[in-house]
Structure 1
Amino acid sequence: MIMAAKKTKIELPSVLAFERKLDVSDGLFKSGIWADRENHQNWEPVLVREKSIRGTVSNRTNKIKEIEKNTQNANLQRVDVASISCEHDSFSLQFTCKILGGVGNPSVCNQPAYQQKIEEKVSEYISKHGFTELGARYAVNLANGRFLWRNRFGAEELEVCVQHLKQGEICKEWTFEGHEFSLNDFTIPDSAKTGIAELTEVIANGLGGALAVLKVTAFARIGAGQELYPSEELILDKGNAKGQKSKTLYSVGGVAGFHSQKISNALRTIDTWYEGGNSSKPIAVEPYGSVTSQGVAYRLSKNDFFTIIDQLIIKDKELDRLEDQHFMMANLIRGGVFGGKD
């Protein structure tokens, strides 16, 4: 009698990491005239400058004497600011994004059986679904200008130009009207369907192994001299806080900019598959669905990344929901350290 081969028990690696597959650069701001967008390479860089302000103390308190004292003593602050020139009415933000293949191939894994299993499962997903769904959502987040964050709101006009580069040369270019897109879903307006389909194909092919480099330039018309909102620096060592700036903006060589992490967060804001929240509004792909600005983790009801991937790899159970498969793949594209030890 022939005995059935015993399944190899898959153990969770203590060391497991995946490299990000959407590799985004920092973004830098420039200032110019809306009608002169074709010459944006000659626009002026937006510089970060410092100013001192005399504000009021407006924090909540129930102590009358403290309120009287604070009213008499002004709230003096030194802050960084960035704004477009008074002769200009628009700004541009430019960055690049590399799209890399090898999704699901760990950069570090100390359990060969686990690595083999996850690579098999990822291959199955790719053969069935490809990267069309995920690629389309990334493409929409490029076209709608979500990566501008607060700078997007209040823009009278918004245009996003995406260029596909090969060896430094433009092989394809798309221009999108950012306000035609909603930030609450991934509906594609009729005027942009062809462009989004083509951009989706480039992104999907890049994730499939055909390296793609995108150059993204967003233009927004906001009014002469208006303030911009670059990334803020987190100052951990404040030393003697007295007299220090209360707000420090990110800059590269004095030019106002966005951290690459901030842009990346916007591009991966594609998770509408979570349960128990308002899933009509996408959140950034995170293992626990964490949204720090709201102080909420939306994926704590056994629909987090670790529960999903353990079910598939460790417990060898298929995922019933296609949405869970999309979410798992999006986390592998995001990258991170996912081993079993702290």
Structure 2
Amino acid sequence: MPKSAIANPSVLAFERKIDPSDAIFTSGNGDPIVLREKAVRGTISNRIKKQKDADPAKLDAAIESPNLQTVDVATLPVDGKGADTLVVTFTLRVIGNVGVPCACNEPTYRDRVQSVVADYIARDGFRTLGLRYAENIANARALWRNRLSAQDIETTVRLLKDGEAIKTWSFDSFSLRLNESGVSDNKDIIDLGTVIADALAGKSLALLEVVSKARMAPGLEVFPSQELIMDRTRNSKSRTLYAVETKSGAVAALHSQKVGNALRTVDTWYPDSDGMPIAAEMYGSVTTMSKAFRQPRLKRDFYNLLDGWMLKDKVPSEGDQHFVMACIIRGGVFGSAD
């Protein structure tokens, strides 16, 4: 069919194919890490914006006024066996049918995208991306700030079937690098990557349990996700942390979205890349740097690459093909409607 006969759909959506749970925090002895409130008396420390506010008398008066705050905190136990260890646990579902839209109002476009993805699977089989996802599981990238506080980290991954582990891998996460991607020659990482790739290719369903044990020191603060409070009139706390309700009460946790962002940190093909992986996002957005590495003006963002590939038969470079597939695996709503 001529590419001119293919219209860009106004309704287009893909389901997420790598789907993590929230990551639950416990201590080394199995006890849940719960949130506590702490009331603190802070001092004035913000940058002075106006020169008149730098007047010593005004500054002294401001300092005399207490900066009272209530914050959530989460810490390891102060004593007992396993008190020095943070255990972070999440599960992961990897499913196939990549490239099959869950919603699409243009049948010709649906056929085209499925054909393109099928050709990609025939050539690569998701081996490239599977290895990179496996690296991020093995190196415990999902621990985020907690990873920086650890002396060593052991990550165990179990492949589950009918509730039982049919395969297990163990990794020394602290020995694995975060600033590179797709270069591992570790046999276990390659094996795990193959399991993920086969699931994405539709050969099987992969259900994984991931447990990372980070050894720190008793009583240290740990860092679950921080909640975004839209209505401050209903919440007076300066910092609200995320917790999951369990039979044992509210347990500190990381958002599944934060875990997913860590796992899809596979993009080293962005313009002017120095080899440091960033998360596969439509515009290469890195919020901590307030920067988008795949600006639309460069024609290397997801939408330009997708439209060129599907509508104009303009095949992206090999690296950008992997990037487009990673974004489709990520899922989302990509239609052209206003």
Structures share fold, TM-score greater than 0.5:
yes
Query: TM-score scaled to structure 1, two decimals?
Result: 0.91
- What is the distance in 1 between the residues matched to 2:275 and 2:88? 28
Q: Are 2:44 and 1:57 aligned? A: yes
- 1:311 aligned counterpart, secondary structure: helix
- Asked if residue 309 in structure 1 is aligned to residue 273 in structure 2, the reply is no
Q: Post-superposition shift, 1:125? A: 0.6
**Is 1:264 the equivalent of 2:264?**
no
CA shift, 1:188, in A, is: 5.5
The one of 216, 221, 232 aligned to 1:238: 232
Structure 1, unaligned runs of 5 or more: 33-41
Which runs of 5 or more residues in structure 2 are unaligned?
Answer: none
Aligned to 1:196: 189
CA contact (8 A) 1:180 1:189 kept: no
Aligned position for 1:47: 34
Instruction: Give the deviation of 1:71 after TM superposition.
Output: 1.0
Aligned identity (percent) is 47
Counterpart residue number, 1:130: 125
The offset of 1:186, in angstroms, is: 2.4
Paired residues for 1:135-214 under 5 Å: 135-186=130-181, 193-209=186-202, 210-214=204-208
Relative distance call for 1:21 and 1:189 in structure 2 (3 A) is closer
- Report the TM-score when normalising by structure 2: 0.92
Distance 1:147 1:122 in 2: 28
Please give the alpha-carbon distance, in whole angstroms, between the structure 2 residues aligned to 1:257 and 1:266: 15
1:323 aligns with 2:316: no
Cα separation, partners in 2 of 1:130 and 1:150, compared to 1, 3 Å: same
SS at match of 1:175: strand
Question: For each residue in 1:143-194, what CA deviation from the matched residue of structure 2 results, as whole angstroms up to 9, or x when unmatched?
Answer: 000000000002111111000001111000001001111100026566xx11
> What's the Cα RMSD here?
1.5
1:76 aligned to 2:76?
A: no
Shift of 1:68: 2.2
C-alpha contact (below 8 Å) 2:3/2:311 kept by paired residues:
no
Once the two structures are superposed, residues 65-107 of structure 1 have per-residue CA deviations (whole angstroms, 9 ceiling, x without a partner) of 4422221112110000000100111110000000010000000
State whether residues 3 and 313 of structure 2, in contact with CA within 8 Å, keep that contact through their aligned partners in structure 1.
no
Correspondences of 1:219-234 after superposition (within 5 Å):
219-234=213-228
State the 1:208 CA deviation.
1.2
CA contact (8 A) 1:131 1:207 kept: yes
After TM superposition, list the pairs within 5 Å mapping 1:244-255 onto structure 2.
244-253=236-245, 254-255=250-251
Change (3 A) 1:25 1:240: closer
Question: After the TM superposition, which parts of structure 1 deviate over 6 Å for at least 4 consecutive aligned residues?
Answer: none
Conserved? CA contact 2:128–2:182, under 8 Å? no
Counterpart secondary structure, 1:45? coil
**Equivalent residue in structure 1 for 2:12, among 13, 16, 24:** 16
1:137 to partner: Cα distance = 0.1
